[in-house]
Structure 1
Amino acid sequence: MLERVKKLLLVKPSSLGDIVHSLAFLNAVKENFPDVKIHWIVSKEFEELLTEHPLIDKVITVDKNRWKNLKNIALTAREFQSLRRLLKNENYDIAVDLQGLLRSGVITWLSGASIRVGFKEAREFSSCFYNKKISVSLDIHAVLRYLEVAKALGCKINSVKFPVPQAKEPDWLSEFDDFVVIIPSTRWQSKNWCLPYFVELIKMLPYDFLIVGSKSDESDALKIEGYSQGKAKSIAGKTTLKELIAIFKKSLFVITPDTGTMHLAVACGKKVVAIFGPTSPERTGPFGEGHLIIKSPVQCSPCFRKTCSEFKCMKEITPQMVYNRIINWREYEISKRKHR
């Protein structure tokens, strides 16, 4: 299908992890059809990750968070009209919606593209806006779901790559060597590991740590730093996305719950220790081999609930359990490198 396409619109506004996963789709299209121009619609908060990306010809930003507020409905309507005019003038041959929500379906339709592609199983009736619907199992990893769309468009998948933009190291990073990154918080309350558990694990492991996160994670990160006896430094809320790329690339490995930032670390070529409770590593775990996935043993996991009154699944994963798994994992990785 893409052999006849000159310009493609990719609709994937959020979230961070999903955008990182979609880089595999971007790479597949450009590897198979390098002359296709690709424009990407993304939420303002993630614009930095795609701006000046060598495989993307144009980045179009939207303020999806403001659209959620019903008080802004008049402004939102005007923004949709403006977006419609902008997209129509681009004369897209094809629009691909990898988000699969109502607003992304509407944007795909507003593009005016003659071919509008999306998942048959998309939510919020967004599939009503597509004229080519692709059925893909919801039980496979998100990366593989996006690559099934690439296959349907005529791409051959020779390898899976997540091309992240070049990132210059911030000057202060030169002060840190041989450190492990900790991502303490997620947007789901139920996916968070207990802060005292992080503190205990930091004290047990023979590494120094940098704690990363957004501005909203700053309080939790500072609490961990305060109780870590000088072994951890919080930089939460003080880095850009591109600085995070540089930090991940220099780190030894990353310890994290199931969060979008975890996937950015993986895209940077970093191995992660991923702690899973209410979600499924088969669907949203770190993609690729060599990662350490520690999954809750409780029967109700995964429940996919954003809130919980007990947090039993995450509490059952103790610092001692994680410590033992990390030590064995690191010893195995070091042994494997020596015998190559």
Structure 2
Amino acid sequence: MTARDASAPYGRVPLRRVCVVMMSAVGDAVHVLPLLTALKALDPAPHVTWVLQPGPATLVRGHPAVDDIVLFDRSAGARGFLDVRRELRARGPFDVCINLQVYFKAGLITGFVPADVKLGFDRARARDFNWAFTNAKVPPHPMQHVQDQYFEFLDALGVPHGPPVWDLGPWPEERPWQREFFAQLDRPAAAIVVATSKAQKDWLPERWAAVCDALHADYGLQPVLVGGRSERELAAEAVIMREARHKPVSALGSGLRKLVAILDGSALVLSPDTGPLHMTVALDRPVVSLIAYSNPKRVGPYRKFRDLMIDAYGDPGEDYPISMENRHDRMPNITVAQVLEKVERWRTHYADGAEG
């Protein structure tokens, strides 16, 4: 068996069957994957069950590190919780439950998991009484990047890990669609994530239109709009299509697995703080990130492409601490010129190896 660190706080906990509770957004799901790939590197590898919502489930279903998924349908109200409890009881018992989400609903789900050890964040970082549902805690630690915070759980369990391994794809059966998609374009693609789940994270669509024109005319790139088909995304698409002289290709509503293929095959990605940003980092594709609402020291691109990040969260010269504080109404501070400055840096530092 692969050695684990017996000196770690919970390094002697058996890891034959593991349940992971992280039900939230796509970006969080991406950050979970390196934990699972590290667990799967153990010998023998544990069986991993993951409780998460239907949206991110479409991204990770079929991943080699995910053996089983229990869906939590938040829209179902109390019935959604009861369904999860029934499914977890049918799959248990587990050796350990890893609760990566710090809110009450995740605590309630953790309470349903039939496991002797329920490992969560220390009391200072857990919110909404989430700490009350766990009987083991990772040691207290100052706030750090989300990915590093998740690695604390591996450290507590004595699981060895190096740099993150995502294995996000595209998977072999997805390559034919990817080739077909890019065969339609007459130039390398620049994928643009038009909107997010929070209006405060969105950039102005008329500025995206100006960026589209510059990408096409000055950089020889074909802008491709990506994301879902929410009301706000469709509204942004309409503005961009109306304002841009060089019309982008719209791939809104492609679904998360096809989005993986699009991001992977793009020469460049431009994105605000949202799941596709972290998907792009996991795929090791250059990404210009626009961050102003959330603390980029906590949620920015992890250890890659920081030189392509536009930080409008802090004021010029401000050495702000890492925190969960959100700052409102700062995305309009990002200018088209700033974005194109980062695109120019991409051209001089990344473009030679960036075409998909």
Q: What is the TM-score of this pair, normalised by structure 1?
A: 0.87
Which secondary structure state, in structure 1, belongs to the residue aligned with residue 200 of structure 2? helix
Kept in 1, the 8 Å contact 2:74–2:80? The answer is no
| Higher deviation after alignment, 40-49 or 125-134 | 40-49
For 1:134 and 1:3, locate their aligned partners in 2 and report how far apart those are by CA, in whole Å: 13
| Corresponding position of 2:338 | 321
For 1:137 and 1:232, locate their aligned partners in 2 and report how far apart those are by CA, in whole Å: 45
For 1:129 and 1:160, locate their aligned partners in 2 and report how far apart those are by CA, in whole Å: 28
Q: 1:137, CA displacement in angstroms?
A: 3.7
Kept in 2, the 8 Å contact 1:91–1:113? The answer is yes
- In the alignment, which of 144, 151, 154 is matched to residue 148 of structure 2? 144
| Corresponding position of 1:193 | 203
Which secondary structure state, in structure 2, belongs to the residue aligned with residue 182 of structure 1? strand
Q: 1:220, CA displacement in angstroms?
A: 0.9
For 2:88 and 2:324, locate their aligned partners in 1 and report how far apart those are by CA, in whole Å: 39
What pairs with 1:142-291 in structure 2 (closer than 5 Å)? 142-165=146-169, 166=171, 167-168=174-175, 169=177, 171-176=180-185, 177-205=187-215, 206=219, 207-216=221-230, 217-237=233-253, 239-291=254-306
Residues 18-55 of structure 1, C-alpha deviation per residue, up to 9 Å, x if partnerless? 01011111112112354210011110122211222211
Kept in 1, the 8 Å contact 2:96–2:119? The answer is yes
Residues 276-326 of structure 1, C-alpha deviation per residue, up to 9 Å, x if partnerless? 1122211000112234111126379899447x4xx3x22222111221232
Which secondary structure state, in structure 2, belongs to the residue aligned with residue 215 of structure 1? coil
For 1:11 and 1:162, locate their aligned partners in 2 and report how far apart those are by CA, in whole Å: 18
> Judging changes above 3 Å, is the alpha-carbon distance between structure 1 residues 333 and 172 closer, same or farther for their aligned structure 2 residues?
closer
Which secondary structure state, in structure 2, belongs to the residue aligned with residue 223 of structure 1? helix
For 1:34 and 1:164, locate their aligned partners in 2 and report how far apart those are by CA, in whole Å: 22
| Higher deviation after alignment, 167-176 or 209-218 | 167-176
> Judging changes above 3 Å, is the alpha-carbon distance between structure 1 residues 81 and 329 closer, same or farther for their aligned structure 2 residues?
closer
Kept in 2, the 8 Å contact 1:209–1:232? The answer is yes
Kept in 1, the 8 Å contact 2:190–2:268? The answer is yes
> Judging changes above 3 Å, is the alpha-carbon distance between structure 1 residues 190 and 80 closer, same or farther for their aligned structure 2 residues?
closer
For 1:210 and 1:146, locate their aligned partners in 2 and report how far apart those are by CA, in whole Å: 32
Residues 112-148 of structure 1, C-alpha deviation per residue, up to 9 Å, x if partnerless? 2000011012111011010101145463110000011
Q: What is the TM-score of this pair, normalised by structure 2?
A: 0.84
| Corresponding position of 1:15 | 25
Which secondary structure state, in structure 2, belongs to the residue aligned with residue 10 of structure 1? strand
Query: Structure 2: any 5+ residue segments left out of the alignment?
Result: 1-10
Kept in 1, the 8 Å contact 2:288–2:343? The answer is yes
Paired letter, 1:258: D
Q: 1:163, CA displacement in angstroms?
A: 1.9
| Higher deviation after alignment, 172-181 or 276-285 | 172-181
Tell me whether 1:101 sits opposite 2:103 in the alignment. Answer: yes
* Identity %, equivalent residues: 25
For 2:18 and 2:28, locate their aligned partners in 1 and report how far apart those are by CA, in whole Å: 19
CA RMSD of aligned residues (A): 2.3
For 2:113 and 2:45, locate their aligned partners in 1 and report how far apart those are by CA, in whole Å: 20
For 1:34 and 1:257, locate their aligned partners in 2 and report how far apart those are by CA, in whole Å: 40
Query: Structure 1: any 5+ residue segments left out of the alignment?
Result: 68-75
